[in-house]
């Protein structure tokens, strides 16, 4: 079904939480900008684009240490949502 191909909304909550922790209040804006660039909507976001999304969000984080922390925590979440 289509639902199997899309990311559950809870994943974006987790993503937003992590981004807010690293970037502060601009996190939501950054996330929306990245989704705009990708021409995607978080309410209908296909799993096959997740890696691109995570990469693009990672690029928005200036600190390389924080980038690694972000990727670790997000890929943990990605695994739990995808498998």
What band does 71 get if pLDDT is binned at 50, 70 and 90?
very high
Instruction: Report the candidate in 1, 35, 28, 21 with the shortest Cα–Cα distance to residue 70.
Output: 21
pLDDT for 10: 87
Whole-structure pTM value: 0.85
Contact 31, 57 (CB under 8 A): yes
pLDDT for 38: 97
pLDDT for 75: 86
**Close Cβ partners of 75 (under 8 Å, ≥ 6 residues apart):** 54
Summarised one tens digit per residue, pLDDT across range 5-50 is: 898 888 899 899 999 999 999 999 999 999 999 999 999 999 999 9
């Amino acid at each position: 079904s289509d639902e199997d191909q899309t990311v559950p909304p809870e994943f974006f909550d987790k993503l937003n939480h992590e981004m807010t922790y690293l970037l502060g209040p601009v996190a939501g804006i950054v996330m929306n900008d990245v989704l705009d660039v990708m021409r995607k909507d978080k309410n209908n976001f296909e799993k096959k684009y997740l890696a691109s999304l995570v990469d693009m969000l990672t690029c928005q984080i200036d600190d390389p240490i924080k980038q690694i922390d972000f990727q670790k925590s997000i890929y943990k979440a990605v695994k739990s949502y995808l498998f």
